[in-house]
Amino acid sequence: MKFGKEFVSQMVPEWQEAYMNYNSLKTILKDISKFKNQNKSKSPMASTPKGSLRRRLTLYRAFSGLNVTQRFSPNKSEDEVILFHSQEDEDSKGLYQTMFLKSSEDGTERDLEFFKKLDFEFNKVNVFYNKMVKEVVEEAEELSKQMNVLIAFRIKVDKIGFENLHSNETSSSSSIMHHVNDAQHGDSNVHMDVIQEIEMSNESQLNDEDRNYVPQTISKSSIQGFRPASLDILDHVKINMNTPETPVSTIKGLLISSKTDQAFNKKELKKADILLSKALKEFYHKLRLLKKYSFLNLLAFSKIMKKYDKVSSRNASKDYLKMVDSSCVGSSDEVNRLMDRVERAFIKHFANGNHRKGMNTLRPTTKRERHRTTFLLGLFSGAAIALIVALSTLIQARNILYSEGRIKYMDNIFPLYSLFGYIVLHMIMYSANVYLWRRFKINYPFIFGFKEGNELGYRQVFLLSSGLAVLSLAAVLSNLDMEMDQRTKTFSAFTELVPLGLVMAVLVITFCPFNVIYKSSRFFLIRCAFHSICAPLYKVTFPDNFLADQLTSQVQAYRSLEFYVCYYFWGDFTTRSNKCSGNGVYKTFYLVVAIIPFWIRFLQCLRRLLEEGNTMHGLNGLKYVSTIVAVAMRTISSEFREGAVWKILAASSSGIATIVNTYWDIVMDWGLLERNSRNPWLRDKLSVPYKSVYFAAMVLNVILRLAWMQSVIGIKDAPFLHRTALTAIMACLEILRRGIWNFFRLENEHLNNVGKYRAFKSVPLPFNYQDDDDEDSADT
């Protein structure tokens, strides 16, 4: 792979604008090379081979003498190509400017343009890196305060006699030894944390040979000179009352006053440990990305200067790279120093001195692509295609489309299996989205908050969808029986229970507690779904928001689940007949289950409106209210009431909801239709290089949102299509529309993060640290 492509592939996606623009500089060098070649072709000596010309010119070079020892090079001043000037005023401190010394020569306009662009790119990189280094230094100071508080917190909670150590070291040392003896004689579980804290309290660097060593006992010599953190620091600290994380705590927060006393107990200590360990891991991740940023840019400047020397036949790279090495991005060692400090602190305080465990947590290994995944993907995909061919052949051979039992099959069996069709199609669309997000460098793992190294790639998602498709198609093939027993007028109970057994198998796999079939991803999905169902009792995060939007496109899937309940628990499934369609309770729930996903999104918008105070969330909530009204009107007109009035109400409410939802999709969720954009009616930044893709997506979104017209117009059956099949097709079109929406929605979110250089998760800190000066100023 060429360096230019590798350079782009290694970039931090949210920092793309802050990297050196390698391609633009390379384009200028191509122009210089083209100009040089044109001049060579016009030269009278162009026909002379380059090698022979070089040899002939050496015959006429000035003789340097037999004595090769010289104190200076007489041609040094002539060989100099560039000089540097650093602007030291406050407005442009640290900016470098290159002076090109060969500007008097012919055809050097492009060289001047190259160094002007090079200065711009280098100053951009240097300023950004300097700014980020200052931020991480300030963040390191805050984390240091938090660690001091945490250590004091541990001492206070464990209560082993450290309080008077600063006033009486002898008595305190005897107290420590007393508790050490207790720990060594059977009370190790109580005081083990504090013992390990004593053992590793020395701030000197850990030697390589003893990094994996964890002491088991403590002697007097190991305690001599030990001085724990002062507990006075806790007088200036308040424990952060974080956002409620459970429905119960949210309800308590609404009913009970939030003013509580400081609770320095083990429960709060455990929470503080978790929060601070997460903060250190995220801070270390930030330092790693910053180090990678510096390395890549320095390598890019080195590569481009060597290319310039080669193209221009000058020797400017040595002087320029010397200036680069002396700048902040080339000489600052703050990042490496902080990385070393964070590693030692994390290993000591959060990994019990286990170096391997601590480093595995700080630097999780990248997930490798396995041949097993590719093999199973090909196997299941081929099996699914073979089953589809077998079903088609069997339907034609048995003439099932015209058999007597086809009506019962479509009314009772088809809705059961259509559930899996909706899920498989949605998973296929998501796998396509993952592929396109990676293809266009959209940082979806960061946006969704996936655990590093555990996110599913498009192959894994497609593997799951193809596996579920094989199970579903095999179940359909086993259940494709149109003839009942004429003597008993019943169907085989075993085959009729196949759909229910398949649902149970999918649920068991989904909630399986063992580490099989992508456990972390399954539990992440379950957690987001639970948060969505419990809205507005949980704080709304982007994954919860995104998943709830997916649920709004699976209305027919919920109605299929409702039919499962009716068919197997209320109806006589052995005769392939049900009384669901005529049951009032079933019809009521048929309306309710269609409204629930939109109601969840409304509650999420309401929660965000109350927390953030942004009126746009309120308008978004009203959009879902309009959709709820439209869905209710359409369902009532088709299932409960008939007549022109209800048809008009359904059509008008659906029309209003379609206009509002389409505008919100394109303008708010996708960020398109900007008048003053560099790309007319799109937006300034686009991930896909083809603008026609965006216009096609907007047109498709409008067309697919009009699928509701089928139910309003009253098309119950179509030629060669049963009404349940027509309903399934309309539901699949909505899933396809949602799949298209997903790509552009995440692209817009990614570009917003890029515009703010937001490449890290914000982890709340456990303590609010207040200095005495702050308190005095607050009192005054």
The pLDDT tens digits for 432-482 are 999 999 999 899 998 998 887 788 999 999 999 999 999 999 999 988 877
Alpha-carbon gap, residue 429 to 465, rounded angstroms: 10
Q: What is the pLDDT of residue 208?
A: 42
Residue 242 pLDDT level (bands cut at 50, 70, 90): low
Confidence at 653, pLDDT banded by 50, 70, 90:
very high
Q: What is the pLDDT of residues 126-150, one digit of tens each?
A: 999 999 999 999 999 989 988 888 8
Average the pLDDT over 383-391 and give the result: 95
Q: Do both 335 and 456 map to the same domain?
A: no
Q: Decide if pLDDT at 527 tops 90.
A: yes
Within-domain flag for 213: no
Residue 676, both tokens = 């003053």
Among candidate residues 336, 333, 307, the one with its CA nearest the CA of residue 321: 307
User: Among 224-233, 504-513, 659-668, where is mean pLDDT lowest?
Assistant: 224-233
Residue 165 predicted with pLDDT over 50: no
> Which stretch of DSSP H or E encloses residue 238?
strand 237-239
Phi, psi of 95 (to 5 degrees): -90, 140
Same domain, 549 and 407: yes
pLDDT grade, residue 88 (50/70/90)? low
337 and 408 belong to one structural domain = no
State whether 379 and 484 are in the same domain. Answer: yes
Q: What are phi and psi of 165, to 5 degrees?
A: -65, -35
Q: Using the 3D structure, point to which of 335, 363, 391 is the last residue of a domain.
A: 363
Same domain flag for 345 and 376: no
- The last residue of a domain, from among 363, 394, 422: 363
Q: Which residues contact 737 (CB under 8 A, 6 or more apart)?
A: 553, 700, 701, 704, 705
Q: Taking the CA atoms of the chain, what radius of gyration do you get in angstroms? A: 35
Same-domain status, 475 and 599: yes
Q: Does residue 743 or residue 203 have the better pLDDT?
A: 743
Spatial neighbors of 553 by CB under 8 A, at least 6 apart, are 426, 734, 735, 737, 738
Answer yes or no: are the C-beta atoms of 671 and 691 closer than 8 Å: no
Asked if residue 178 belongs to a domain, the reply is no
- Whether residue 330 is found in the same domain as residue 411: no
Tell me how many domains the chain contains: 2
117 and 153 in a single domain? The answer is yes
> How many percent of the chain have pLDDT more than 70?
75
The token duo for 175 is 């107290």
Are residues 592 and 534 part of one domain?
yes
Alpha-carbon distance 607 to 539, whole Å?
A: 7
Q: Which residues contact 208 (CB under 8 A, 6 or more apart)?
A: none
Sequence-ordered list of residues with C-beta below 8 angstroms from that of 732, at least 6 positions apart, any chain: 421, 422, 425
CB 573 within 8 A of CB 496: yes
Residue 152 zone, left/alpha/beta (φ > 0; ψ -120 to 50; rest)? alpha
Domain containing 140 equals: 1-44+81-162+228-363
Q: Who's near 443: CB < 8 A, 6+ residues apart? A: 13, 14, 750, 753, 759
In a domain? residue 190: no
Same domain as 282, residue 356: yes
Q: How many other β-carbons are positioned within 10 Å of the β-carbon of residue 177?
A: 14
Q: How many CB atoms lie within 10 A of CB 599?
A: 16
Distant-in-sequence, close-in-space partners of 479: CB < 8 Å, separation ≥ 6: 413, 417, 495, 496, 498, 499
Report whether pLDDT(73) > 50. no
CA distance 355 to 444: 31
Rounded Cα gap, residues 452 and 594, in angstroms: 36
Cα–Cα distance measured from residue 165 to residue 230, given in angstroms and rounded to the nearest whole number: 9
The tokens for 120 are 């711009």
DSSP reduced 3-state for 86: strand
* Torsion sign over Cα 698, 700, 701, 702: positive
Residues 445 and 543 in one domain: yes
The count of residues in the chain is: 780
pLDDT at 567 over 50: yes
**328 and 381 share one domain:** no
- CA neighbor of 26 nearest in space, from 17, 18, 34: 34
62 part of a folded domain? no
CA 557 to chain centre: 27
211 falls within a domain: no
Is position 716 within any domain?
A: yes
Domain membership of residue 89 (yes or no) is yes
Domain boundary among 333, 363, 393: 363
CA distance 162 to 152: 10
Inside any domain, residue 337: yes
Four-CA torsion 506, 512, 515, 516, nearest 10 degrees: -20
CB atoms inside a 10 Å sphere around CB 525: 14
Residue 340 corresponds to which tokens in the numbers above? 């070393």
**pTM for the model:** 0.81
